[in-house]
Amino acid sequence: MNESAASIQVVQFPDLIPTALLFAITIIVMLVFIEIGFRLGSRPQDKIIKAQSTQVRAIMGVTLGLLAFMLAFTFATAQSHFEIRVANLAEEARQAHNAFLHADLLDEPHRTQARKLLRTYIGERIALERITETDQWGEVLTIVKNSENLQRELWDIGLANERDNRAADQNRLQRSPFMVSVVGIIDIHNFRLQAELANRISWVVWVTLNLTALLGMLITGYHAGLIGRRSPIATFSLAIAFSAVMMLITDLDRPMTSMFKISDQSLVILAANMDEMLLSD
């Protein structure tokens, strides 16, 4: 009925490194390539090679422009992935709320069992949203597994309620509002797994992006070496600016973001409403 989180897990190498450390590493690598390019361009050369600085400057402009384009394209892709996750969370809260209300149509003890299971389910989802460290992947798998078990229990409760009414025919099941809501919960759970774990920026794009960035830094340093002048402030600014954008893209694309937070207020408010309704029973 459900996809396994472990079966669609896509862990990329940057996911294993904290964002701050990855940011620092990226800056250092870019500065190193700028320095390598500068040293190559500063070697004793004849006048013909020196005259090529105009051509190198043009190539540098094209390369940096291409890098900026790729960064914009990749950022837009990561942002769309993030927005899908936000929309899926809101939809999950809506489906769970509908199931909680539709549980009133069940007979006892199925009604009480279903409502308590749904409250437990929302508690699991809130706990899942509050995990931000990549080294807590084992805890993520546990919560996902618990959620899937709760989904099966809710489905079994719906079936048991229909059997008790001696109307467990296919048409009756398809018309049951509670069963429809449970199917909705299962569907959005699978959508969220796909969006957060499998719908990632391809490693081919990452390799191309990083290769373009390093070549851009190398050519920038080489041009500075040819003309015999460089500005430390401009060099650091360039490396920091490109590294910062790349870190934003990396964090947006991660299953568990650290800089970008998905608000779980819809789930928290729903949990509070469920508690209030359970107490009033």
Q: CA 98, CA 94: separation in Å to the nearest integer?
A: 6
- Could you list the residue range(s) of the whole structural domain that residue 144 is in? 15-280
**Residues 6 or more apart whose Cβ sits within 8 Å of residue 93:** 122, 266, 267, 270
Instruction: Give domain status of residue 7, yes or no.
Output: no
Cis peptide before 109 (omega within 30 of 0): yes
Is the pLDDT at 174 greater than 60? The verdict is: no
Task: Name the pTM for this structure.
Answer: 0.79
Q: What single-letter DSSP state applies at residue 43?
A: S
Instruction: Give domain status of residue 201, yes or no.
Output: yes
Domain count, the chain: 1
**Cα angle at 236 between 228 and 247, to 5 degrees?**
140
Tokens representing 126 are: 């809130």
Instruction: Give domain status of residue 32, yes or no.
Output: yes
Instruction: Give domain status of residue 248, yes or no.
Output: yes
Instruction: Give domain status of residue 76, yes or no.
Output: yes
Q: Average pLDDT, stretch 249-273?
A: 85
Q: Average pLDDT, stretch 36-59?
A: 76
Q: Average pLDDT, stretch 267-277?
A: 91
Instruction: Give domain status of residue 10, yes or no.
Output: no
Is the pLDDT at 50 greater than 80? The verdict is: no
Instruction: Give domain status of residue 149, yes or no.
Output: yes
**Is residue 155 a contact partner of residue 1, using CB atoms and an 8 Å limit?**
yes
The answer to which of 102-111, 113-122, 253-262, 266-275 has the lowest mean pLDDT is 253-262
Instruction: Give domain status of residue 41, yes or no.
Output: yes
Q: For position 1, what pLDDT does the model report? A: 42
Task: Give 117-162 pLDDT, tens digit per residue.
Answer: 999 999 999 988 887 665 567 788 888 889 999 999 999 998 888 7
Share of the chain above pLDDT 90, in %: 44
Task: Give 216-251 pLDDT, tens digit per residue.
Answer: 999 999 988 888 778 888 888 999 999 999 999 988
Is the pLDDT at 48 greater than 60? The verdict is: no
